[in-house]
């Protein structure tokens, strides 16, 4: 087993405390993960998208001394990287270089973060990118769109209630001064986790810490997100656009995080119901393998952006509040309602019957080994270490293994009752003909399945139940929105 | 297991939010010199052929405990030579998870889950790859299970029909991306006879007809899942001799096949072609200009020179990118690429344009840049920067046994040996500015050009 060697060094200084996480090693590579504990939750109410635009401006703009062009020319021969990732509570800069180029690379990284160029022409270009990111990017990814609308809806009254990338009308109004002000307020020493791994020297790190002590010391005040309003009835948002198939995301707020004691039990039940992008989960098995409804179906207890591109969970998207979610990948329109019914039927079955003993054991054994692969790169290992500290939780991989060795089926079933029973869903649907789909959802008419091949008796019998399974959606709880208005 | 298919799409749509997910793997391992002499692939390896034609390549690395097996079948959408059967290489990637008599699907999945393996597969134009990453003590189990499914795969017609629907589901989930549609139309327009005329997913009508093609699927397996098409890569904490013994035991009885496809040769294109996509919904106008390029070669400079040209003329550090994207801000992306493929393929330049009115201007700027590179040799210092970039990029991409195997798989698919990588980099090292100029003049010609535009609904 890999031992995490992250060392948390708290600066002796009484005020500013840069938290340093280091994983020194012999690798010819040096990996950086600089996390500022700020993000879209800190966007001013009238300025959604500001945190993201600020990070983009740093990652994709010039520095005080170098234009963006000059910066690109300096980076190119090294094939090194420097990227930004923004979520609700964290803004992360991730970089990597071969140790041959460490001095030259660090000079660039340092200038990017400590001496941004703030040029107006960079700002115009990056703002256009951000606007197009919503207008033609997110809106042309039906699955990601549905997921983001779901989260925004679940947390609409709190600081998580807008898309991290912002709205188009907000982005259009943001100014370079807004970005500079956000940077001054939030890019501070006490907000910073400085993660570094690989073949750097102690002297190098000392120099880096000294440089980053030039950031302002104090942390800006962030209001904690409000507790989400309970969902009292199932409701649906139908996003209408011209598209071939029907994509669904559904969920409800969940206060389970890595800091809460039920986390391992909840992780296990989500894995049992639908481990991300793997066969073996219940939903994947009944929906894709047995019935050929779509490409895959999964369950989550934590935010997992870009699941269509990524096989393993991201790091540094830690949140105080999460959602329990089901992701139903695009379905052919004639079978869409059946697919939704089947997902809810399986969810209700889990709540009613609990997890079976063999399913519990199988999932527990799987997770005990699977967690090892999550930290197979240095960058991921740094990311997990920073997340654990942020949550105030022990080392993730060790803790999951330890928990799995003592967790019981009864505990999982207790949490199924406590966290999943008697919940209602917000369902987002991306489809063409929104009004027709609304009618379909609101009606109790059966939605029988037909197959292109004979199916076993058991499936046919189960289908008879599923085809009439109540969705619990009243017409007044279904809203149709044209895609052009989403995050507008 | 789920599968993934390599598809070309547009760059990230929200750079700030998404950037991290596009990061290439990092870290490197063995001794490496950016500009120095010597081979770029720094690991010693063994390469052996079994009497049945199966090739085994073992690469011991210094990364402890973990082993990666990548099984490369030199069959991709390129091998889909019969009308009505496009997408079959990819469908077969799915079917390979359907199990055997000894390892029914559930047992196969269960075993991999129990050993905590990270497993998957993907299909490309030229090959299909099945991979597992796991603890070294599980190597005998993995090699035995893989040997079993490659030789004894068994699936019923109903199972086949259901799986073909999951493939349609995969097509559907990709279809909301305009870049995907543009690519489909580009290759369909540019090629007449080459099997690169269809993407790896296949033509939609063929995907929809897959449920009716059970018998053909059995023929496809019989043709291509044979030792002479297959290379087993074992990378990590493993010893060549022990691996060979395991492979002899499990794979030695596998029968050599008979089938050799006749891959149609693309006739010379005689005049430029154009096509247009009306995208229903919001999209930025996009233009792709493609030229008939060469097949991969490492015995001549053509592929390497065009690859360098793509960087010099159309990457982020190119003059054209700086002009269109950074200074004038008329486009929000520009890139060029010359992929390494077994058969002649396309050198493609694509730009996404902010305003419809600037489409012709951007096209003309791209064509002017092509002309410049045909007329003048590039600056030698910039060519050196490209060489350095390529070598560091390679070193940075080999940070684990898993990622080393992944890099090798793409080269093994071309020439069945890791030395392919060294040979290609020898070509990069030998390139002169005149070579790049010559390649631009030879391949980027008007008569071999295909231009495809995409605009949002009705806005042409």
Handedness of CA A49, A53, A55, A60 (dihedral sign): positive
Q: Which residues of A309-343 are buried (b: 16+ CB within 10 A; e: fewer)?
A: eeebbbbbbbbbbbbbbbbbbbbbbebbbbbbbbb
Name the DSSP letter for residue B85. Answer: -
Give the one of B21, B176, B400 whose C-beta lies nearest to A142's C-beta: B176
A211 class by beta-carbon count within 10 Å (0-12 exposed, 13-18 middle, 19+ buried)? middle
Q: Do A365 and B114 touch (CB under 8 A)?
A: yes
Rounded CA gap, B317 and B311, in Å? 8
* CA distance, residue B374 to nearest chain A CA (Å): 23
Residue B107 forms part of a structural domain? yes
Q: Do A128 and B109 touch (CB under 8 A)?
A: no
Give the one of A29, A121, A133 whose C-beta lies nearest to B14's C-beta: A133
3-state secondary structure of A328: strand
Residue B144 forms part of a structural domain? yes
Residues B301 and B376 in one domain: yes
Closest CA to B431 of B380, B376, B369: B380
What pLDDT score was predicted for residue B8?
Answer: 29
Residue B31 forms part of a structural domain? no
In chain A, residues with a C-beta closer than 8 Å to the C-beta of B329 are 121, 124-125, 128
> Both tokens of residue A176?
């370079």
Closest CA to B162 of A285, A311, A334: A285
- Give the number of domains in chain B: 2
Average pLDDT over residues B238-243: 97
Give the one of B15, B21, B110 whose C-beta lies nearest to A60's C-beta: B15
What are the residue boundaries of the structural domains of chain A, listed by start? 7-212, 235-485
Residues B282 and B242 in one domain: no
Q: Do A377 and B27 touch (CB under 8 A)?
A: yes
Whether the CB-CB separation of B121 and B95 falls below 8 Å is answered with no
* CA distance, residue B134 to nearest chain A CA (Å): 9
Q: How confident is the model at residue B118 (pLDDT cuts 50, 70, 90)?
A: confident
Angle between the N-to-C axes of helices A68-75 and A102-114, in degrees from 0 to 180, rounded to the nearest 10: 150
> Both tokens of residue B203?
């033509």
> Both tokens of residue B367?
């064509």
* CA distance, residue B209 to nearest chain A CA (Å): 11
Q: How confident is the model at residue B209 (pLDDT cuts 50, 70, 90)?
A: very high
Name the DSSP letter for residue A116. Answer: B
Residue B121 forms part of a structural domain? yes
Q: Do B175 and A134 touch (CB under 8 A)?
A: no
Beta bridge partners of B233: B57, B70
The contacts of residue A214 (CB under 8 Å, 6+ apart) are A114
Closest CA to B400 of A31, A383, A82, A7: A31
Rounded CA gap, A42 and A225, in Å? 10
Count of beta carbons in the 10 Å neighbourhood of residue B44: 11
Sequence-ordered alpha helix ranges (H) in B302-343: 302-314, 319-321
Residues B243 and B278 in one domain: no
Beta bridge partners of B72: B129, B231
pLDDT higher than 90, residue B6: no
Closest CA to B407 of A20, A461, B396: B396
Rounded CA gap, B115 and A84, in Å? 35
> Both tokens of residue A246?
């029907």
The contacts of residue B409 (CB under 8 Å, 6+ apart) are B70, B72, B127, B129, B131, B233
Q: Do A52 and B24 touch (CB under 8 A)?
A: no
Handedness of CA A264, A266, A269, A274 (dihedral sign): negative
In degrees, to the nearest 5, what angle opens at C-alpha A293 toward C-alphas A292 and A294? 95
Residues B222 and B287 in one domain: no
> Both tokens of residue B27?
């870290």
Closest CA to A31 of A400, A309, A386: A386
Closest CA to A313 of A324, A305, A322: A305
Residues B124 and B241 in one domain: yes
* CA distance, residue B172 to nearest chain A CA (Å): 6
* CA distance, residue B271 to nearest chain A CA (Å): 33
Q: Do B27 and A86 touch (CB under 8 A)?
A: no
Average pLDDT over residues B110-124: 89
Q: How confident is the model at residue B164 (pLDDT cuts 50, 70, 90)?
A: very high
Count of beta carbons in the 10 Å neighbourhood of residue B27: 26
Where among B251, B283, B303 does a domain terminate?
B251
Residue B21 forms part of a structural domain? no
Find the CATH number of the domain harbouring B446: 3.30.830.10
**Structure ipTM:** 0.90
β-bridge pairing A91-98 and A81-86: antiparallel
Whether the CB-CB separation of B130 and B416 falls below 8 Å is answered with no
β-bridge pairing B46-49 and B55-60: antiparallel
Residues B150 and B296 in one domain: no
Residues B52 and B172 in one domain: yes
Where among B251, B281, B301 does a domain terminate?
B251
Residue B115 forms part of a structural domain? yes
Rounded CA gap, B439 and B295, in Å? 13
For residue A142, give the chain B residue with the closest CA.
Answer: B176
Q: Please write the tens of the pLDDT for every residue from B374-419.
A: 999 999 999 999 999 999 999 999 988 999 999 999 999 999 999 9
Closest CA to A327 of A199, A441, A427, A431: A427
B14 class by beta-carbon count within 10 Å (0-12 exposed, 13-18 middle, 19+ buried)? buried
In chain A, residues with a C-beta closer than 8 Å to the C-beta of B316 are 72, 76
**First-to-final CA distance of chain A:** 48
Rounded CA gap, B19 and B17, in Å? 6
Q: Do A28 and B109 touch (CB under 8 A)?
A: no
In chain B, residues with a C-beta closer than 8 Å to the C-beta of A79 are 388-393, 396
> Both tokens of residue A449?
């399945």
Give the one of B165, B175, B392 whose C-beta lies nearest to A292's C-beta: B165
* CA distance, residue B31 to nearest chain A CA (Å): 9
Torsion-angle region of A331 (φ positive above 0: left; ψ -120 to 50: alpha; else: beta): beta
Give the one of A28, A295, A453 whose C-beta lies nearest to B157's C-beta: A453
Count of beta carbons in the 10 Å neighbourhood of residue B450: 23
What pLDDT score was predicted for residue A5?
Answer: 37
The contacts of residue A353 (CB under 8 Å, 6+ apart) are none
Whether the CB-CB separation of A217 and A42 falls below 8 Å is answered with no
Report percent pLDDT > 70 for chain B: 91
Average pLDDT over residues B71-93: 96
Neighbouring C-alpha atoms within 13 Å toward the C-beta of B175: 24
State the DSSP string of A46-102.
T-TTHHHHHHHHHHHS-BSSS-HHHHHHHHGGGT-EEEEEE-SS-EEEEEEEEGGGH
Phi, psi of A341, deg, nearest 5: -60, -40
Residue B258 forms part of a structural domain? no
C-alpha distances in Å from residue B228, one per residue of A413, B253, B415: 52, 13, 13
Q: Do B396 and A96 touch (CB under 8 A)?
A: yes
**First-to-final CA distance of chain B:** 43
Residues B90 and B216 in one domain: yes
Full strand arrangement of the beta sheet holding B346-353: B273-279, B449-456, B286-292, B346-353, B331-337
Whether the CB-CB separation of A248 and A426 falls below 8 Å is answered with no
Closest CA to A186 of A219, A222, A212, A164: A219
For residue B174, give the chain A residue with the closest CA.
Answer: A141
Count of beta carbons in the 10 Å neighbourhood of residue A354: 18
- Tokens 């399913």 belong to A359
Angle between the N-to-C axes of helices B88-95 and B214-224, in degrees from 0 to 180, rounded to the nearest 10: 90
Q: Do the domains A235-485 and A7-212 match in fold? A: yes
Where among B218, B251, B284 does a domain terminate?
B251
Q: How confident is the model at residue B29 (pLDDT cuts 50, 70, 90)?
A: very low
Q: Please write the tens of the pLDDT for every residue from B287-314.
A: 999 999 999 999 999 999 999 999 999 9
Rounded CA gap, A389 and A91, in Å? 15
Q: Do B326 and A68 touch (CB under 8 A)?
A: yes
Region A235-485: CATH code: 3.30.830.10
Residues B50 and B110 in one domain: yes
Sequence-ordered alpha helix ranges (H) in B416-446: 419-430, 433-443
C-alpha distances in Å from residue A366, one per residue of A407, A438, B102: 14, 40, 22
Whether the CB-CB separation of B4 and B122 falls below 8 Å is answered with yes
- Tokens 């469908």 belong to B91
Residue B28 forms part of a structural domain? no
Q: Do A76 and B25 touch (CB under 8 A)?
A: no
Q: Do B16 and A295 touch (CB under 8 A)?
A: no
Neighbouring C-alpha atoms within 13 Å toward the C-beta of B62: 10
Q: Do A139 and B385 touch (CB under 8 A)?
A: no
3-state secondary structure of A351: helix
Range of the structural domain that residue B313 is part of: 273-456
Q: Give average pLDDT by consecutive 10-residue segment, chain A, 488 residues.
A: 36 61 92 97 96 98 97 96 97 97 98 98 98 95 97 94 97 98 96 96 97 88 77 97 96 96 98 94 96 97 95 95 97 97 98 97 92 86 96 96 97 98 97 98 96 95 98 97 97
State the DSSP string of B164-180.
HHHHHHHHHHHTT-HHH
Residues B226 and B307 in one domain: no
Q: How confident is the model at residue B12 (pLDDT cuts 50, 70, 90)?
A: very low
The contacts of residue B454 (CB under 8 Å, 6+ apart) are B178, B181, B182, B276, B277, B279, B283, B285, B286, B287
Handedness of CA B7, B13, B15, B18 (dihedral sign): negative
What pLDDT score was predicted for residue A223?
Answer: 66
Handedness of CA B441, B445, B449, B453 (dihedral sign): positive
More confident residue, A78 or B7: A78
pTM assigned to the model:
0.93
What pLDDT score was predicted for residue B4?
Answer: 40
Residues B284 and B229 in one domain: no
Residues B233 and B279 in one domain: no
User: What is A7-212's CATH superfamily?
Assistant: Metalloenzyme, LuxS/M16 peptidase-like (3.30.830.10)
- Tokens 């074992």 belong to B234
What pLDDT score was predicted for residue B37?
Answer: 52
């Amino acid at each position: 087993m890999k031992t995490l060697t992250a060392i948390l060094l708290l600066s002796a200084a009484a005020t500013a405390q840069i938290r340093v996480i280091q994983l020194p090693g012999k690798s010819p590579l040096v990996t950086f993960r600089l996390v500022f504990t700020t993000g879209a939750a800190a966007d001013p109410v009238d300025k959604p998208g500001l945190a993201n635009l600020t990070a983009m401006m740093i990652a994709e703009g010039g520095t005080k001394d170098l234009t963006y062009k000059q910066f690109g020319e300096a980076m190119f021969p090294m094939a090194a990287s420097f990227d930004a990732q923004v979520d609700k509570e964290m803004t992360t800069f991730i970089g990597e270089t071969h140790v041959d180029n460490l001095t030259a690379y660090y000079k660039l990284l340092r200038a990017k973060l400590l001496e941004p160029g703030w040029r107006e022409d960079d700002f115009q270009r990056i703002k256009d990118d951000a606007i197009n990111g919503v207008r033609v990017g997110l809106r042309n990814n039906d699955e990601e769109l549905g997921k983001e609308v779901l989260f925004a809806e679940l947390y609409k009254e709190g600081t998580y209630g807008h898309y991290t990338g912002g709205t188009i009308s907000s982005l259009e109004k943001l100014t370079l001064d807004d970005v500079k002000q956000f940077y001054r307020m939030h890019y501070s020493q006490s907000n910073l986790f400085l993660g570094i791994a690989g073949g750097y020297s102690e002297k190098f790190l000392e120099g880096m810490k000294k440089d980053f002590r030039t950031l302002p010391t104090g942390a800006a005040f962030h209001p904690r997100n409000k507790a989400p309003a309970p969902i009292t009835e199932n409701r649906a948002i139908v996003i209408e656009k011209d598209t071939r198939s029907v994509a669904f995301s559904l969920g409800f707020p969940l206060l389970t995080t890595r800091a809460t004691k039920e986390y391992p039990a909840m992780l296990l039940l989500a894995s049992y119901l639908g481990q991300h992008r793997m066969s073996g989960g219940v939903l994947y098995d009944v929906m894709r393998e047995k019935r050929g409804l779509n490409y895959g179906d999964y369950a989550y207890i934590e935010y997992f952006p870009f699941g269509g591109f990524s096989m393993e969970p991201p790091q540094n998207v830690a949140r105080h509040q999460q959602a329990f979610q089901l992701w139903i990948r695009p379905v052919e329109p004639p079978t869409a309602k059946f697919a939704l019914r089947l997902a809810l039927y399986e969810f209700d079955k889990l709540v009613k019957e609990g997890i079976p003993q063999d399913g519990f054991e199988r999932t527990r054994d799987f997770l005990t080994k699977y967690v090892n692969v999550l930290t197979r790169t240095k960058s991921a290992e740094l990311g997990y270490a920073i997340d654990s500290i942020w949550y105030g939780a022990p080392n993730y991989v060790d803790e999951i293994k330890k928990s799995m060795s003592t967790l019981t089926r009864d505990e999982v079933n207790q949490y199924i009752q406590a966290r999943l029973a008697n919940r209602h869903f917000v369902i987002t649907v991306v489809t063409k003909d929104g009004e027709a789909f609304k009618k379909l959802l609101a009606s109790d008419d059966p939605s029988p399945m037909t197959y292109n091949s004979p199916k076993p008796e058991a499936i046919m019998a189960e289908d008879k139940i599923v085809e009439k399974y109540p969705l619990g959606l009243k017409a007044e709880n279904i809203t149709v929105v044209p895609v052009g208005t989403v995050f507008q | 297991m789920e599968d993934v298919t390599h598809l070309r799409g547009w760059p990230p749509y929200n750079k700030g939010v998404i950037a991290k997910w596009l990061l290439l793997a990092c870290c490197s391992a063995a001794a490496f010199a950016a500009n120095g002499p010597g081979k770029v692939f720094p690991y010693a390896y063994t390469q052996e052929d079994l009497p049945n034609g199966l090739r085994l390549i073992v690469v011991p690395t210094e990364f402890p405990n973990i082993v990666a097996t990548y099984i490369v079948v030199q069959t991709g959408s390129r091998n889909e030579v019969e009308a009505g059967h496009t997408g079959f290489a990819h469908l077969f990637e799915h079917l390979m998870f359907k199990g055997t008599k000894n390892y029914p699907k559930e047992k196969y999945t269960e075993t991999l889950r129990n050993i905590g393996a990270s497993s998957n597969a993907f299909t490309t134009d030229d090959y299909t790859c099945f991979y597992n990453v796991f603890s070294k003590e599980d190597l005998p189990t993995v090699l035995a299970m893989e040997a079993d499914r490659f030789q004894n795969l068994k699936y019923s017609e109903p199972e086949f029909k259901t799986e073909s629907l999951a493939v349609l589901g995969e097509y559907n989930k990709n279809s909301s991306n305009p870049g995907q549609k543009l690519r489909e139309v580009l290759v369909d327009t540019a090629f007449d006879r080459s099997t690169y005329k269809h993407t790896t997913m296949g033509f939609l009508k063929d995907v929809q007809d897959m449920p009716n093609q059970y018998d053909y699927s059995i023929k496809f397996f019989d043709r291509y899942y044979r030792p002479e098409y297959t290379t087993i890569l074992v990378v990590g904490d493993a010893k060549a001799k022990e691996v060979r013994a395991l492979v002899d035991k499990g794979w030695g009885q596998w029968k050599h096949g008979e089938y050799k496809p006749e891959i149609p040769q693309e006739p010379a294109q005689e005049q430029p072609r154009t096509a247009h996509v009306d995208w229903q919904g919001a999209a930025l106008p996009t233009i792709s200009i493609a030229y008939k390029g060469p097949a991969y070669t490492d015995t001549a400079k053509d592929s390497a020179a065009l690859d360098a040209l793509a960087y010099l003329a159309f990457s982020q550090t190119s003059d054209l990118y700086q002009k269109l994207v950074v200074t004038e801000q008329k486009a929000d992306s520009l890139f060029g690429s010359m992929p390494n493929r077994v058969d002649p393929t396309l050198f493609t330049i694509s730009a996404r344009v902010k305003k419809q009115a600037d489409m012709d201007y951007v096209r003309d700027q791209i064509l002017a840049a092509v002309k410049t590179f045909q007329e003048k040799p590039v600056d030698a210092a910039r060519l050196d920067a490209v060489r350095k970039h390529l070598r560091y990029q390679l070193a940075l991409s080999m940070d684990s046994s898993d990622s080393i195997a992944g890099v090798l798989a793409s080269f093994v698919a071309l020439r069945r040996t890791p030395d392919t990588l060294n040979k290609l980099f020898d070509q990069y090292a030998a390139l002169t500015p005149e070579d790049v100029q010559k390649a631009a003049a030879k391949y980027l010609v008007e008569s071999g050009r295909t231009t495809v535009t995409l605009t949002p609904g009705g806005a042409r």
